[in-house]
Amino acid sequence: MEEDAGWELYRSFLGVLREGSLSGAARSLGVAQPTVGRHVASLEKSLGLALFTRSQTGFAPTEAALGLQPFAEEMASAAAALRRAAESQGDGVRGTVRVTVSEVIGVEVLPPIVAQLQRTHPGLTIELVLTNRVQDLLQREADIAVRMTQPKQDLLIARSVGEVELGLYARRDYLDARGTPQSSTDLAQHALIGFDEETPFLRSARKALPAWKRAAFSTRTDSDLAQLALIRAGAGIGVCQSALAARDPALVRVLPGELSFKLETWLTMHEDLRHSPRCRVTFDALVEGLQQHIG
């Protein structure tokens, strides 16, 4: 290694990794294509490694590049966290807060909370990352996370906001046409909405309700939002948050005595952000809003 490479070289390296080409990386980074090419070449020279195999179809990462990727991703998260912290300097509540949350909570629950928060603090910018993947707060992939499992890391502040109840629901006209199941065995005669891939929730649900398995689902999707939309459209019976179902008088609880899950909901952030005004007010607003949602 000749010398320490600057962050801009790793930034371009990540851009090519993610996009598969110099042109794609240039567009995503907002820089000229020759600049990205120079950065990658400079990084390869500095490290003494070939990072990509060039071809007419694009840039394929070498084994060395894949080995460096997680460390470069950490650098990117740290750079973004530094930028958010810098934006917040000054008087009052200002700057950017990055919040990671599941699809359903992000779409169905958080928007009015965020809207009120920004009315109160117009200098605040909220970045919502909707994903069911658990993002790493210790690596600063996000500032605040809404999670359905209790975090174990010592460096995280965690606050339980209550339990989200889940149950089986279907639209009333679907049940009028197909009949209402009276026992779990009746589910075999119905259109069931569930996951395509095996998930921890699916395994847990199957313990209480053996019929709830992939082979039985007539509609499969790993998107929680898509499942919710299908239930609302009358496509069949699926799992829904009871608090969300209560908003729609057309939705009816099915077999309430046989499937009822409660997922404890947690709000977490890195303890280093405890005294950050932007993170503190966002954290408190999310706690209050989620508690109201859960009831």
Q: What per-residue confidence (pLDDT) applies to 1?
A: 47
Q: What per-residue confidence (pLDDT) applies to 179?
A: 94
Could you give the angle at the alpha carbon of 112 between the alpha carbons of 263 and 82, nearest 5°?
A: 80
How many angstroms separate the CA atoms of 227 and 220, rounded? 8
Tell me the HSE value of 10 on the side-chain side, using a 13 A CA sphere: 18
Global pTM value: 0.69
Q: What per-residue confidence (pLDDT) applies to 79?
A: 81
Q: Which residue has the tokens 């679907």?
A: 174
Per the CB < 8 A criterion, the answer to whether 193 and 263 are in contact is no
Q: What per-residue confidence (pLDDT) applies to 153?
A: 67
Neighbours of 59 (CB within 10 A): 21
What type of residue is 176? D
How many angstroms separate the CA atoms of 158 and 146, rounded? 10
Neighbours of 109 (CB within 10 A): 23
Could you give the angle at the alpha carbon of 231 between the alpha carbons of 230 and 233, nearest 5°?
A: 60
The dihedrals phi and psi of 138, each to the nearest 5 degrees, come to: -65, -30
Query: For each of the chain's 295 residues, which pLDDT tens digit applies?
Result: 455 678 888 889 999 988 888 888 889 888 898 999 899 999 888 888 899 988 777 788 999 999 999 888 888 878 877 777 776 676 668 888 989 998 999 999 999 999 999 999 998 999 998 887 665 555 667 889 898 877 776 678 889 999 999 999 999 999 999 999 998 889 989 999 998 887 777 777 777 777 788 888 999 999 999 999 999 999 999 999 999 999 999 999 999 877 778 888 999 888 878 788 888 899 999 999 999 998 7
Set out the domains of the chain in order of their start, with CATH numbers: 7-79 (1.10.10.10), 85-161+267-294 (3.40.190.10), 164-263 (3.40.190.10)
